[in-house]
Amino acid sequence: MQRKEKKETASFKNNYDVNISFESSPCSFPAHWHVFTEFVLATKDHCIYSINGKHYEINQGDLLFFWPTEVHEVISTPPHASLILQFDSSLISGSRDLNSYRYSLQNRHFIKAKEHKSLALHLGECMEKCNEIYFSNDPFIETKIKIQIYNMLTTLGLEAINTLATNQDSTNATSASYIKINNACNYISEHCERDLPQEEVADFIGFSRFHFARLFKEYTSITFVQFLTKQRLQRAIELLGNRNLSITNIAYQAGFQSISNFNRVFKEVKGCSPKDYRKLYYYNLAETKQQILLETSEQ
């Protein structure tokens, strides 16, 4: 059963689930995060960004991916150097098969055109097609852009599966065991806010506890407990976007048993307190950035 929740929805032009900016894409923008997904195609060289504290210099034809709740910053770019595509992340979570590979998808942030020529070319063409559609008079702008987005996401998903199969000789990314572990990951994500024993998840996919623990670590590179904590932390970060919830309420709603444990884990993973992280939320920058995007849309 899918978890029902209140969350931020992107306020894009015409209430679309998608948005495009190019001509007025900012040459710099302070660190922030939001719950929608953002793809960037560089149209000029020497564009410098930061994602989760790591700097990326991208050149013409390269792509960057900002996944939900990741802190990112536009450090410096030339004018008119970034084609930006933003879309509601329900496009991923609402697709069961695509959602099952979101963990692999969200590990990818950078595609360098010189190293992955055909992949970068294909994704870049999809981005440019989105831009063309967005500023057209087509009666199905949003739907046609979503088709392009699904094209990109499935391409990235297949690339992630092939990479996993190549890097892990002992596993097959399309095997029954891998699919079951993916189902387990989804189950954990959907139920992370409550007490969730490892035995329950193992039973859900039909594995013994010990067989599950071994395969889970093999496929995900972390233990069940570490993954569960990671999902609870992700859930908490999503809730930080709701200004009506206190930090304490967020900790318990996300499945943490104490506020002290939540603060400790958050600081270890994110390098700051939940309160400080909340200050970087898109609400604090929405008016400024939305004005930039609206100006772009009007051109």
Q: Which of 163, 174, 269, 164 is closest to 220 using CA atoms?
A: 164
- The helix/strand/coil state of 134 is helix
Count Cβ atoms below 10 Å from residue 281 Cβ, excluding itself: 21
Biggest alpha carbon distance in the chain?
A: 59
161 pLDDT band, cuts 50/70/90, is confident
In three-state secondary structure terms, 42 is strand
Residue 47 CB contacts under 8 Å (≥ 6 apart), including other chains? 40, 57, 58, 59, 62, 76, 77, 78, 81, 82
| Strand 29-32 versus strand 37-42 pairing type | unpaired
pLDDT digits (tens, 9 = 90+) for 26-74: 899 999 998 899 999 999 999 999 999 999 999 999 999 999 989 999 9
pTM to 2 decimal places: 0.80
Domain limits, the chain? 13-167, 176-282
User: Which position has the higher pLDDT, 133 or 103?
Assistant: 133
- Give the dihedral sign, CA 91/95/98/100: positive
**Can you give the pLDDT at residue 198?**
96
209-223 mean pLDDT:
90
Beta-carbon neighbour count of residue 143 at 10 Å? 12
13-167 is classed in which CATH architecture?
Sandwich (2.60)
Name the band, by pLDDT with cuts 50, 70 and 90, for residue 168. Answer: low
Percent of the chain with pLDDT over 90: 62
Q: Which one is predicted more confidently, 196 or 176?
A: 196
pLDDT of the residue at 298:
44
- Tell me if the domain spanning 176-282 has CATH number 1.10.10.60: yes
Range 239-254 average pLDDT? 92
Of the two residues 232 and 296, the one the predictor is more confident about is 232
Q: CA nearest 64: which of 40, 28, 81, 45?
A: 40
